[in-house]
């Protein structure tokens, strides 16, 4: 157990709909990352937040948005869903300091768009 | 921007044998961290091993060890006594601190351990 919690674990929704994926980072971790992994694909970095502020943005579509709340949990909002958005969405967190700056992943949220 | 290259999309190894997965990276930084993550069929991302660039000694975790060549910007993973449970996708990753902890991942190497 990495300590990073993601909900829901599985989600099936129709095209055109909107979903929200939730992530609770490890206790004390200020950085939260979102990654997308399609079938047989590598990790696509979407966005990173640090202590509530956006720190880095990757290949995140305009239909997607994210935020990190004061309690450090984060949400990834996916709207106007398309079939191609079906993927495994990972949340990860990291801490700065003596821990070695390691990134820890949640178990992912499987999104299927039908 | 940092880049991480894994030039071996797929590899296989006989059970109990040793296999080495390659990873190279490109950076102008002197202080950074390198990682290997394992993703088994369950799709969970599991940290295998971590190396700090300022440490000359290669990191080791049980059957897993790295060959860190800083000048060559190479970071290979050696798996000894391969086990069936080692079958997974392996991702190499690079992180430079003090920049918001941005991580850069390679495209992965799919390893199959053959009984």
What CA–CA distance (Å, rounded) separates A13 from B62?
Answer: 43
Give chain A's mean pLDDT: 91
Question: Looking up tokens 């190497």, which residue turns up?
Answer: B109
What is the distance, to the nearest Å, from the Cα of residue A92 to the centroid of all Cα atoms in its chain?
7
Residue B74's alpha-carbon distances to B2, B67, B69, in angstroms, are 14, 8, 5
Contact between B26 and B3 (Cβ < 8 Å): yes
Using a CB-CB cut-off of 8 Å, the residues of chain B touching A108 are 43-45
8 Å CB contact of B44 and A37: no
CA angle A27, A57, A54 (to 5 degrees): 50
CA angle B62, B102, A31 (to 5 degrees): 90
User: pLDDT above 70 covers what percent of chain B?
Assistant: 97
Q: Is the pLDDT of residue A6 over 60?
A: yes
* Nearest neighbour of B108 by CB, restricted to A31, A42, A92: A42
- Provide the chain B residues 57-76 that lie in CB contact (below 8 A) with chain A: none
B64-94 pLDDT, tens digit each? 999 999 999 999 999 999 999 999 999 999 9
Nearest to A34 by CA among A93, A79, A81, A86: A93
For the segment A11-31, the average pLDDT, to the nearest whole number, is 95
Strand-pairing partners, residue B50, are B35
- Residues belonging to chain A: 114
Q: Which two tokens stand for residue A110?
A: 């499987």
- With cut-offs at 50, 70 and 90, classify the pLDDT of residue B56: confident
User: pLDDT above 90 covers what percent of chain A?
Assistant: 73
B3-13 pLDDT, tens digit each? 899 999 999 99
A36-92 pLDDT, tens digit each? 998 767 889 999 998 899 988 988 999 999 999 999 999 999 999 999 999 999 999
Chain B touched by A42 (CB under 8 Å)? yes
8 Å CB contact of A100 and B47: no
H or E element: which one contains A12? strand A10-13
For the segment B27-33, the average pLDDT, to the nearest whole number, is 89
Burial class, B68, CB count within 10 angstroms (exposed 0-12 / middle 13-18 / buried 19+): buried
* pLDDT for res B24: 97
Q: Which two tokens stand for residue A66?
A: 């994210």
């Amino acid at each position: 157990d990495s300590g990073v919690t993601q909900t829901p674990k599985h989600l099936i929704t129709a095209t055109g709909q909107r979903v929200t994926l939730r992530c609770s980072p490890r206790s004390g971790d200020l950085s939260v990352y979102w990654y997308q992994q399609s079938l047989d694909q590598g990790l696509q970095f979407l966005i990173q937040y640090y202590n509530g502020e956006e720190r880095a943005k990757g290949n995140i579509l305009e239909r997607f948005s994210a935020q990190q709340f004061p309690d450090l949990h984060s949400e990834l909002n996916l709207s106007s869903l398309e079939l191609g958005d079906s993927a495994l969405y990972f949340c990860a967190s990291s801490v700065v300091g003596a821990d070695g700056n390691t990134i820890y992943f949640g178990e992912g949220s499987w999104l299927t768009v039908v | 921007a940092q880049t991480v290259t894994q030039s071996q999309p797929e590899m296989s190894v006989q059970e109990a044998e040793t296999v080495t997965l390659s990873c190279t990276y490109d950076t102008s930084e002197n202080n950074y961290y390198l990682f290997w993550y394992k993703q088994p069929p369950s799709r969970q991302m599991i940290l295998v091993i971590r190396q700090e660039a300022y440490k000359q000694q290669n990191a080791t975790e049980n059957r897993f060890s790295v060959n860190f060549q800083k000048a060559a910007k190479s970071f290979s993973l050696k798996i000894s006594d391969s086990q069936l449970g080692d079958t997974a996708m392996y991702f190499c990753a690079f992180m430079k601190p003090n920049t918001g902890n941005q991580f850069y991942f390679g495209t992965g190497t799919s390893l199959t351990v053959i009984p």
